[in-house]
Amino acid sequence: MTIRIDIISLFPEMFQALTEQGVVSRAFKNALVDVVYWNPREFALNAYKTIDDKSYGGGPGMVMMAAPLAGAIRAAKARQTDLGAAPHVIYMSPQGGKLTQNWVNQTLNTVQKSHKPQGLIIICGRYEAIDERLFELGLIDEELSAGDVVVSGGELPAMLMLDALLRCVDGVLNDEKSAQQDSFSDGLLDCPHYTRPEIFEDLSVPDVLLSGNHARIARFRREQQLRVTQSKRPDLIEAASKQGLLSVADNQFLRKIN
């Protein structure tokens, strides 16, 4: 199934870093994703292609005008509807809910496996803000933040979100289990990894990883997951415990290291 994505941006060329480079570019090159760009300037109402203006009431910065963005959103929605997708409009904003692996998993499930596939329309804002009336008109379904930080525009957060989402699509990674074993995939951080040589600057690979005993290796990696997560993100251990994601053996190991 092809994933429908429409991106509204003043700088669509920025997305070449995602669509032409790296692992995730396979999603675009292999037609797993159908992406179309909409520049709000194409929907400006004057000959100067104006898309921003001063904020009513004064203050610093410019505000993206409602009309060009509304035109771009409605055009993208019409395209997706014609292709049989249910459009879902996401505005990349520091005021939105945080991007998490759980969000990625739920969104991908909706995009790929719902009765009517969902298409994504991603708005990349610029300047101080976008006109609030776009929200009042119900043209935006969700606000999404890449973190508690402000950047110059929504393109970089959008690329971060799309990279996280598309690498989980079947056929993008060489080994589909890679995404399943990443940090946050089961609520915990990933375990440490090693590769050749066996000894580097007097440091050896743990013997258990060279043993060929798959059961011992699996348990060792699980314990290292728990150890790393407890050390770096104890909040994730607490959340996993509340969700019932920890086994009896997991809890025994945590008590031991504590």
Residues ≥6 apart with Cβ < 8 Å to 54 = 62, 63
For 23, the 3-state DSSP assignment is: coil
Out of 12, 26, 34, 128, pick the active-site residue.
Answer: 128
Q: Of 40, 167, 221, 250, which one is the catalytic site residue?
A: 167
Residue 233, CA distances (Å) to 96, 196, 246, 255 in order: 23, 28, 15, 16
- In angstroms, rounded to a whole number, what is the distance separating the alpha carbons of residues 68 and 70? 6
Let me know if 167 is a catalytic residue.
yes
Q: Is 60 a catalytic residue?
A: no
Contact 257, 230 (CB under 8 A): yes
The single residue listed with the structure tokens 């079947």 is 170
Q: Catalytic site residue 255?
A: no
Could you tell me the maximum CA-CA distance found in the chain, to the nearest angstrom? 71
State the catalytic residue, choosing from 94, 163, 186, 190. Answer: 94
Task: Write down the catalytic residue from 34, 143, 163, 182.
Answer: 182
Q: Would you name the residues annotated as active-site residues? A: 94, 128, 167, 182
